[in-house]
Structure 1
Amino acid sequence: STAKDVFNPQNERLLEIVHVWKTGKKRKNSILCVAGECPGKKVKKADRGDQYKMTDRWPLKDLKLVDGKNVNQECLEFELQFDKVYKWTAVSADEKNAFIRCLWKLNRRYLSSSIAFVSIPSCMLEEVGNASAKAGDQAEHSAYQEMTPKETADMLKLMEEYEPIVNNSMAFAEKLSKELQVLDEANLQAIISSEKQVTLLMGSIDEALAEVAKVEETLQVYDELLGSVKQQMDHIQQGNSLLHQIDSNHEKLMSEILFLTSNLDLSKKHRQALSRGDLSSPSKVKACIAAAEALSSCMNVQIQPGYRKLQAIAEQLIMFETLKQNFENSFISHITSIFELQHFLPHSFPFQVYAWNLSRLYEREIKAFFELARMLLLGRTKELGYTEELYPHPLPQTISSLGGFSPLICGSSPQLVYADLHQVDIMLEQVLRELQPLCIAEQRFIEKFFMLSQDLHLPVSFCHPVHTSLAGPLPEQLCPNPLSVCDTYSRLEEQPTQLLSEIFSSLEPELRGFIDTCNKVQQFSCLQVLVTLNDYMFEMQGSSAATSSSFLNVGLSNILLLAKNNFNKCIVSQTRQSQWAKGGILPFVSRFEEFVNFSEDVFRWAQRRGELDKAHTKLVGSVFINSLASANLKVNTDMVMMENFHHIHCFLYQKKIQCLESKRREAKQRYREHLERYVTKYLGQPLEKLNHFFEGVKARVAQGVKEEEVSFQLAYSKQELRKVIEKYPGKEVKRALDTLYRKIHKYLSPEENLLPVVWRAMEQEFIRQYQEFENLIQRCYPGSGITMDFTVEDLLNYFISITQSSM
């Protein structure tokens, strides 16, 4: 009946069914059916009722897995996995097994075993395998046994149409034979008529073959030509490679020739200087030094051993050796002619002799130099002549020639005389630039003359007495015990920085004194000193002077620390607030503004401004006070705080300093808070009694008294309200507002121009309170007919007239 009711009307054939319900849910019987149709096989589900109804359809090709749930024991549950898993429970095990065997058989026949079968007894699948061939034959046979109603109707219609002919079968067969003969004749005629076309086609094919043969011959000729061209190109490529190799060899040869000619070439000027060996004057000594250095660089060039066999190179090396020997002989003769033969004296200390004599000379010259700088900085030009008379002589020529620097006092820096006496930065920078070449030249001379930079022990024969016109008798502390040989060698290993500290022992104290003088020029001179030292140290670090003078770096670092300490002291002094103020812009706010203006101008082109940002943060923290001593003020503290925070906000907004942006926003917020407090405090003065009355009304309402019952309170009755309102007619209110305006105008500082802002805030707050009073009258005294003697329009007119009358 299922096949008849559901599948036959749709031209489908029922193969297998199983009665099931969903596992784990309320039992509701359904039927799973396997049906076949022309497009393919599907699995369907039908609800059972009075009539069968199809609810779901699944194509068999979408089935992925069949799970029998248990292999060892008989189980009624099974699963079918399509896009999701469907769990069923069969009514009987036979129906379940027959249903699974049907699916397995269809899977093998039509889907090439693409469906997976798990947890199914192997015996059941073997039975299906043995019976698969027989089942297939039966399925094919059964496919022709039963006809659908439509096929039956078509067959009956065909038999009815040809019924007369079928009755006379002989006549029907003869008719078919005649029609077949006619068709054969038509085919023969068609073949005969197409013979000409076949002939033409064959001719065209022969012509095409002839053309193909010609093309093949042409291609053969081209191939032979290309073969000869290929050989020519191979020859050309081989020639090009040889040319490239020749060019490469020429380039290498040229580079080697240039290397030899540039490194083994000694100029004529240097050859003449070495040949003469004249050391009689400083200029000739410099020429000999340059020539000796050039000769040393030429002789130290690393060349290949094979080059020495070349005639030109051999002659050049022989010439170098000859010049070297001639100059050595000339130098020895010159030294022996100047210095007498000295015997071995182990008690001599060339370091101490040099440092002791030079320190006295530099002490006198450095003091004179800084005294001159102080006079120029402080503008005492009348004393310059006296200074020149006091220190008329430059450094001795012997020491100047050894150190390689010009005298400090005698015109080495004419910019000092013409510099602006009030510009601390120019003067300080000029002083530092005068000291730098002096220290660098002295350190280079010491390292070169005493060979301190090479970390070598000097030979004992070097330690002979040093005779100089400046030395005189040495002090006793420079002549140790002759037996202290170990002390001698330890002093020979002294570093240049320690030796320079003894030579320039007066430099750092004099520089500290000059820094103190610079700080006293004006209030914030320490800022300019710090910036100048910072920039100078930064410039030294980026140049060769930083590595040339370690002594100068150490000394300037100490001076920079002194400048930072002075700057911090200045900041601490600026953070001290005045204990007494009359109002308006407070003194420490003005000092903060002055400091910021001056410091930003000084640090405008500075390399580093980290110290300044820290100082700004520290100073602005002291300016942002929370309260003032009201005993020392004649005006309201909120007014003073409002004006000062407004001034700070406007100033920081103009400067746009990045590290103070948060403080600028805080100043704006504090200004608004104090403005609101000031307006709220002074607003009660024009209507003081009325304000107190309604404050009491609001207090009673807050305590739980109903609004309509407030009028029954004795102190807040309608009669009391009328008495209070009668005390404030319109003229009295206008007079009180005028008094308030004059008082605000008197105490507000004119430079901030906050009077319009404060008066406008007063007006808005006054109107708000008036509307609040009217609202309380309407709610707490309904129907009383009580109103104030003035309206909002009257108040606006009062404020406008007061403002115009004061202009």
Structure 2
Amino acid sequence: MASAAQIGDESEFLRTVDAAFQDSDNAVLVAFRVAKSQASWSVAGRRNRLTTKPRVLAITAMRSSSTQKFSVNLQVLKYSSGGLQPAKVYKLKHLTKIEAVPNDNTGCTFVMGFDNLKSQSVAPPQWTMRSLDDRNRFLTCILKLCKENLGRLPKIQGMDVVELALWAQANVKGLPIGSPVQADSVDAERDQKEGKVTVERELLSKAEEDDMEALLGAYLLGIDEAEAFSERLKRELLALEAANVHAILESEPLVEEVLQDLDSAMAGVEEMEIWLGVFNIKLRHMREDIESIESRNNMLEMQVQNNALLVGELYKLLERLHVPSEYAALLTGGSFDEARIPQTVEACDWLASSIRGLEPPILDSTYVNMRAVKDKRTELEKLKSTFLRRASDFLRNYFSSLVDFMITDKTYFSQRGQLKRPDHADLRFRCRTYARLLQHLKSLDKSSLEPLRNAYCHALNLLLRREAREFANELRASTKVSRSSGAWLDGSTSGSGFSGSGSDTATATVSDAYAKMLRIFIPLLVDESSFFASFMCFEVLPLAPPGRTGDDKNGFEDKDEDDDDIAPLDMDGSDMKPAQNDGELNALNQALEKLLDGVQEDFYAVVDWAYKVDPLRCITMQGMTERYLSGHKADAAGFVRRLLAELQSRISNQFSKFVDEACHQIEKHDRNVRQTGSLSYIPRFAALAARMEGLIQGNSRDVVDLAYTKLVTTSFSVLERIAQVEPKNADVFLLENYAAFQNSMFDIANVVPTLARFYHQASEAYEQACTRYINSIINSQFEKLFQFAQRVENLLYTITPEEVPFQMGVSKNELRKVLKTNLSGVERSLQVMYKRMQKGLTSEELLPNLWDKCKLDFIDKYESFEALLAKCYATETLSPSSAEMKELFKIV
């Protein structure tokens, strides 16, 4: 029970909550102190934390003036300087679920879900009650209000509803409100400003409780009295068995009567058995007579059937052995005109099926050795050999005549001033006319195709080589460019951008010409390979996927849209899907070598011509070739793939040759001539690199990076070698050239990792050269001063500072001599340093930066000497001081 103090505190709390709603029509039904917590992100955004704030949850009711119905709301109040004030309002009709927080062991924390929240992605707030009693009171009120006023209950998750019902039953008098909300209770609430009323109804009715107790009692009874129940069932079973025995004994007269009937029936059965034995003997004699008659009849019927079947088989055999005169005429004579091809194909089909029909298992093995069958097989073989010879001669002459006609007609080839794309549509159309004939030739004799394939390869090879040669010649003749084998030396020496030199526009047509050669002839060669494989009945998978005859994604496409079906035929004449056959694939690749051999020479000629015009265009051609090669890696026929690989290798060798020549030109700098300023090849390399970056396509990045590595390594090696010719000016020479390299390569090194690496290497070499050069400038005027400081520092490793002035060579007299010698007329010495640096540098833009570094290094050494003097020679003063020395540097 709550104490009087707690009750008074609760009453004061309710009055405070009422005061927050005194200006509104809301009547407070119940109120609870809670803690509100909600997940939020930390500053780093890596983990979340919970922020907890004190709040008050109040359930209020308000009568609508229009409908006279009550609206129940859940009010959230927060603490402020003026007391409690409403912060958030939730309508109870939108409450859908109440879910307990899993990681809260007390069970006092829960989350309420509402279906009208605008942002469902934000985590809902968590409410923590002060105790389980407060939580149960709040949830009981919510459930009763929803059930009675809304006709539904929110979903409860993570809480024991039975435990909640038991708690409500035990604390029925302490519940704060009955339901449904009545006008009188709301009015009384407003008048009295109290937060509790009595409960009118419970969660479970009395009838429901009685049913539940009866059910639980019956369940417990079954468990406690199991043995008594088993004994009872046994007694009932014995009683039933005794009753059955008694009933059987009472039916004895009826049993006797049934037995008498059975004896009379047995006598009748014995008499019938005697009569059946007599009839059985008579029937056996009759059956023997019938069997003898049937045996004679069956023999006669079998003879009739065998004779009929024999006559039928003889007629079928005669049909197989018969040679139709029209087929014999087509196979042994006549022309192979296009109009007669269907009849010839039909005759071939008949001949193949007839030859197969005379072989097991189609023909029974008993007929194979018959003389008539042997004679007919010999006759069919003669027909086959005659037809194969005639058809092979015709097709060989036909292929040669087709190609000879095209070669003699110059309109088929490129001419001066006109590039003509090879068009084999008409050639293929004429060949497809005899595609079925070739398939039947293969079915008759597979070896007959070998000479036909050789004849076709020889004829078409002449045509392809002529077309490639004329196209390549006209392509080079129509491309007007200026030859510049040393183009890299002609580039701009000032640029570090990516625009390239003016020769890019003039030589762009070189790579365009190579691209046109690939765009026209690579799809043509692929199509010819694919057509040859299917036309000549090779049992291989398609050489190229359907619809892809070129590099579609780059706008390269083929013109041949005539795709007649020339798939190989099965024995029954239906289309046959060929499986991949390694032997057939090797034979196909050997045939393609004969078909396309020699075409590669014209590709090589275009590559060599393009290299002579502009060697840098090898970069673009390398990317184009790689793109085509990647598109043909899966092709079954290897000639086109090998051609592209050889082109790629040839282009790579040509570009390597150019890089080697460029390195040789760099190495040719005369070491006997005194070098001053930056070398000419450094800014020219920047222009070369800019052009090369503009020409990169596809996978040619590696080739260009390798060229960069070789050229820059050679340049730095030559630079160091030249610097050794005159060691006196080596540092000036090195720092000027490394600075020139950095200035010319700054923009391009930001986007090219390989050049960035060499840029940093040049930067380090520049800093080292600057340090050596500045030290030589300083030592030219103050060497003895800093050598004296170095001797003192060496002594400090073994003796104390007080003992230094008494050592030989570093006494006070020696110090005074050194100071007088080096610091008398120091202004003039500084001016001499500046003029010497100004005279030694060829590049004036480096002078301000180097002089600033020289000042900093000198001041740093001078301050160290001043500190050393104060440490070891306390009575001696340094004039000028380091501060005065800084002022002297300002006026130099």
Common fold: TM-score over 0.5: no
TM-score (norm 2): 0.38
TM-score (norm 1): 0.42
Task: Please tell me whether Structure 1 or Structure 2 has the larger radius of gyration of its CA atoms.
Answer: 1
Task: Flag the structure with more relative contact order, 1 or 2, with Cα contacts below 8 A and sequence separation at least 6.
Answer: 2
